A and B are shown apart, each in its own frame.
Chain A
Amino acid sequence: MKRMALSGLTALATLFGSSAMAVEIEYWQYFFDARVDAMEQLIEKFEEANPDITVKMTHFPYADYRTKVAAAIPAGEGPDVVQLFYGWLNDYIEADLIQPLPKDQFDPAAIDAEFFPMVQAMKRDGAYYALPTAVRSLALFYNTRLFDEAGIENPPETLDELVEAAKKLTKVDGAGNITQVGITTGMTAQDHHWWREVLVRQFGGEPYKEDYKTVNYTDDAGLAALNFYVDLEKEHKVTQSGFMDEPQAAFKGNRAGMHIDGSFRIGSLNKVRGLKWGVAELPAGPDGKRSNYSSYWVNGITSKAEGEKYDAAVKFLQYLTSDEAMQLWLDVVGELPAKPSVGMVEANANDPTFGPFIRGLAYANTTKFANESAQRQAMVDMVARIDIEGQDPAESLAAAAAEEQKILDDYYK
């Protein structure tokens, strides 16, 4: 009896002894096939290099993600390292769900210098709270078969060339119905980003002021950008919003010559049989100005991680933001590296598919959203009022600005 108790105790002691050396941390992300696959490979490599740390990954459907994180971390059960959309950062900080990254391991000055500038949206009071492995930007997809058919040699370099090319690519049936659009449009897809961060800036404006707290597109530049956008349908008749239901559907169906979309679309376009496409940088504005929009998902350390788990989480996050991890993410998921040191290497920056997106990162802006879907809705309605109700563009622009300003004011009050 005595001996049994003793052996039990030793067994317990070894158990505790070993658990003190090996740490297990939890990582959460939302479910997206390629991302889970990439993360599994990253975890495997990380564990190989750090045998005393194990990383347990859990993923959820996107729809449940925010709820689960919010419920789990305060209860002490959630992840140590968590993935979140860049636009949620304020909410996470305010709710005390994530902690700032330690300045000695994540030197803010070094990050400022090494990463693409848009990650500075993750900085609060001089410290970074989260960092991305990969980022996304926009580019112009074009259907090479339709381009050949219309006798267009190169993708458009400027907005004027874009309109010209679109005119050649548009097909109309006998009754005047469009059966093939030159360029897809739809504020419900990526066009609200194109209009806000690209067109407004290209026509000489700045969409927001005071760190995205004040709407600033009601000036002439904003109106010119809006007119350019709605004229594609009204004046030039090279597009139709809602054509084939969704812009990407029209492009996949070989019924659209050009299509503006994000780098995350590459994977699904590759799977479409019989579709031949190329990518170009977004066309430059009237005075040659280029702009782009970039967004990203970031990883942060939750307030739950303490002691040795915290140290392990820091190590893991350092690995996730390393050059090696970024290259793997690009190869597996198709999302772009967050550092020029990886993105701008010869092989990536001149890659026919990824190149235009990566080059776009250099001049990309990242909108700081208070409520992305509500702010997008303001743009959707702005165009719908002109399109369906025939409202004057200037009036519609002013109404959209007022609506969006109200969303911002409510959020930052």
Chain B
Amino acid sequence: MSAYKNLSIRQKQIVWAWLFLAIPVLFYVVIRFYPTGTAFVISFQEWNLLGKRTWTGLENYEKLWNDPVFWKVFRNTFAYLLLGTPVSLVISFVIAYHLDKTRFLHGFLRMLYFLPFMTSAVAMAWVWRWFYQPVPIGLFNNMLASIGIPQIEFLNSTTNALPSILAPAIWAGLGFQVIIFMAGLRAIPVSYYEAAKIDGVGWWTVLTRITLPLLKPTIVFIVVFSSIGFLRIFDHVFNMTTNNPGGPLNSTKPLVLMIYETAFSSFDMGYAAAQTVVLFLILLVVSLLQLWILQGDNT
């Protein structure tokens, strides 16, 4: 106790700061860092949950490198990212840009766009799964059939299935991105637009010279956030293809689903951990790259 009394005020502040910090630090270490570290360790082992863990070195990573399914899944994961992020970015910007200018029923419209974001992904995926069914139950195909157009295989197709699953996933995240974009738009000082108006500049120049450059921090945030989201896509895929998860023929399987299956239906924990480490590294690299590219030349 006397040791504490002898401290200077600054030192006491530090002691208290650390004391308060200790709780979240401890929480993070136990909940976040410890399991992450364990995952790295398990990725070098063989373990089926029941028996002993045996050390196998790089075997899991070699198996991963030589696994054709992994490379298929790897491509799918990037397909989700490379299709999903730009499409959702453009759509959400267009919606936010116009919604921002709308005065009529503004709040109500904003709510309509935000509603899907709050809906459970599982419920949404099942409804869309029903939309996509073939005749006689699927909504889309029944509509096509009623106007005499041959039905489309949405989910039972190696080419259509991935975009079909991506569509509701994009739609689900749209509300969030629209809200963020609108906040960004509102944060741009009105005086810039007034100045532009006085100078008599067209809307295209206003958009490309004022709005978009000033939205850069918002865009960076949304791109990083939605990229992470698309790289970790799982619920939509799993729930729309539960009969044949990630199918047909692995054409829709993302990395997270592969990890889930390896771990909890094949009980191959070491292999699943190796896949997790790879996903972690991909997420890290993609996020850092985007931050670097989009913020790097922020002059």
Chain A residues with CB under 8 Å of chain B are: 63, 66-67, 69-70, 91-92, 94-97, 173, 175, 177-179, 186, 188-189, 240-246, 255, 371, 373-374, 377, 380-381, 384-385, 387-389
- At the interface, yes or no: B244 with Cβ under 8 Å from chain A? yes
| CA A189 to CA B157, docked complex, whole Å | 19
Known contacts A371-B266, A373-B266; decide if A91 and B50 are in contact (CB<8 Å).
yes
- At the interface, yes or no: B243 with Cβ under 8 Å from chain A? yes
| CA A179 to CA B145, docked complex, whole Å | 12
Contacts of A373 in B (CB 8 A): 261, 265-266
Closest A residue to B246 by CB, please name it.
A377
| CA A92 to CA B250, docked complex, whole Å | 31
Closest B residue to A73 by CB, please name it.
B50
CB distance from A345 to the nearest CB of B (A): 38
Contacts of A189 in B (CB 8 A): 243
The 6 closest A-B pairs by CB, nearest first: A95-B50, A95-B51, A177-B135, A188-B243, A373-B265, A384-B248
| CA A377 to CA B156, docked complex, whole Å | 15
- At the interface, yes or no: B284 with Cβ under 8 Å from chain A? no
CB distance from A413 to the nearest CB of B (A): 11
Complex contact A188–B50 (CB within 8 A): no
Could you list 25 examples of A-B contacts with CB < 8 Å?
A63-B264, A67-B49, A70-B49, A91-B48, A92-B50, A173-B136, A177-B145, A178-B135, A179-B136, A186-B243, A189-B243, A242-B134, A242-B156, A244-B133, A244-B137, A373-B265, A377-B244, A380-B247, A381-B247, A381-B248, A384-B247, A388-B156, A388-B158, A388-B248, A388-B249
Which of A70, A186, A245 has the largest count of B CB atoms less than 10 A from its CB?
A: A245
CB distance from B66 to the nearest CB of A (A): 11
| CA A371 to CA B52, docked complex, whole Å | 19
Known contacts A95-B51, A243-B134, A245-B133; decide if A188 and B244 are in contact (CB<8 Å).
yes
Q: CB < 8 Å: which of A241, A243, A384 contacts B249?
A: A384
| CA A173 to CA B136, docked complex, whole Å | 9
CB distance from B179 to the nearest CB of A (A): 34
Complex contact A175–B145 (CB within 8 A): yes
Contacts of B261 in A (CB 8 A): 373
Complex contact B50–A66 (CB within 8 A): yes
Interface contacts beyond A241-B156, A388-B156: sample of 13 additional A-B pairs, CB < 8 Å, sorted by A: A66-B49, A69-B50, A95-B50, A96-B51, A175-B148, A177-B135, A177-B151, A188-B243, A245-B133, A371-B265, A377-B244, A380-B244, A384-B244
Which of B49, B158, B243, B249 has the largest count of A CB atoms less than 10 A from its CB?
A: B243
| CA A155 to CA B250, docked complex, whole Å | 37
Contacts of A188 in B (CB 8 A): 243-244
Complex contact A389–B249 (CB within 8 A): yes
Complex contact B243–A246 (CB within 8 A): yes
CB distance from A387 to the nearest CB of B (A): 8
CB distance from B122 to the nearest CB of A (A): 14
- Secondary structure type dominating chain B contacts: loop
Closest A residue to B48 by CB, please name it.
A91
Complex contact B248–A245 (CB within 8 A): no
CB distance from B250 to the nearest CB of A (A): 8
- At the interface, yes or no: B78 with Cβ under 8 Å from chain A? no
| CA A380 to CA B251, docked complex, whole Å | 13
| CA A371 to CA B271, docked complex, whole Å | 15
Chain B residues with CB under 8 Å of chain A are: 48-52, 129-130, 133-137, 145, 148, 150-151, 155-158, 243-244, 247-250, 261, 264-267
Known contacts A63-B264, A371-B266; decide if A385 and B249 are in contact (CB<8 Å).
yes
Complex contact A245–B243 (CB within 8 A): yes
| CA A67 to CA B150, docked complex, whole Å | 48
Contacts of B150 in A (CB 8 A): 175
CB distance from B114 to the nearest CB of A (A): 30
Contacts of A245 in B (CB 8 A): 129-130, 133, 137, 243
| CA A381 to CA B129, docked complex, whole Å | 20
| CA A178 to CA B137, docked complex, whole Å | 11
Complex contact B243–A97 (CB within 8 A): no
Contacts of A243 in B (CB 8 A): 134
| CA A67 to CA B47, docked complex, whole Å | 12
| CA A242 to CA B145, docked complex, whole Å | 18
Closest B residue to A175 by CB, please name it.
B145
Closest B residue to A250 by CB, please name it.
B137
| CA A173 to CA B148, docked complex, whole Å | 12
Complex contact A94–B137 (CB within 8 A): no
Complex contact B136–A374 (CB within 8 A): no
Complex contact A70–B134 (CB within 8 A): no
Contacts of A70 in B (CB 8 A): 49-50
| CA A347 to CA B65, docked complex, whole Å | 58
Contacts of B137 in A (CB 8 A): 244-245
| CA A306 to CA B172, docked complex, whole Å | 55
Contacts of B50 in A (CB 8 A): 66, 69-70, 91-92, 94-95, 97
Contacts of A92 in B (CB 8 A): 50
CB distance from B291 to the nearest CB of A (A): 37
Complex contact B145–A173 (CB within 8 A): yes
Complex contact B249–A381 (CB within 8 A): yes
Complex contact B51–A91 (CB within 8 A): yes
| CA A377 to CA B155, docked complex, whole Å | 17
Q: CB < 8 Å: which of A67, A380, A389 contacts B158?
A: A389
| CA A94 to CA B157, docked complex, whole Å | 41
CB distance from A410 to the nearest CB of B (A): 9
Closest B residue to A407 by CB, please name it.
B266
Complex contact B249–A177 (CB within 8 A): no
Contacts of B48 in A (CB 8 A): 91, 95
| CA A177 to CA B138, docked complex, whole Å | 12
Contacts of B130 in A (CB 8 A): 245
Contacts of B148 in A (CB 8 A): 175
Contacts of A387 in B (CB 8 A): 156
Closest B residue to A389 by CB, please name it.
B158
Contacts of A69 in B (CB 8 A): 50
| CA A251 to CA B241, docked complex, whole Å | 20
| CA A175 to CA B266, docked complex, whole Å | 43
Complex contact A177–B134 (CB within 8 A): yes
| CA A241 to CA B156, docked complex, whole Å | 9
Contacts of A384 in B (CB 8 A): 244, 247-249
CB distance from A234 to the nearest CB of B (A): 15
| CA A240 to CA B244, docked complex, whole Å | 16
CB distance from B151 to the nearest CB of A (A): 6
| CA A257 to CA B265, docked complex, whole Å | 33
Contacts of A95 in B (CB 8 A): 48, 50-52
Contacts of B151 in A (CB 8 A): 177
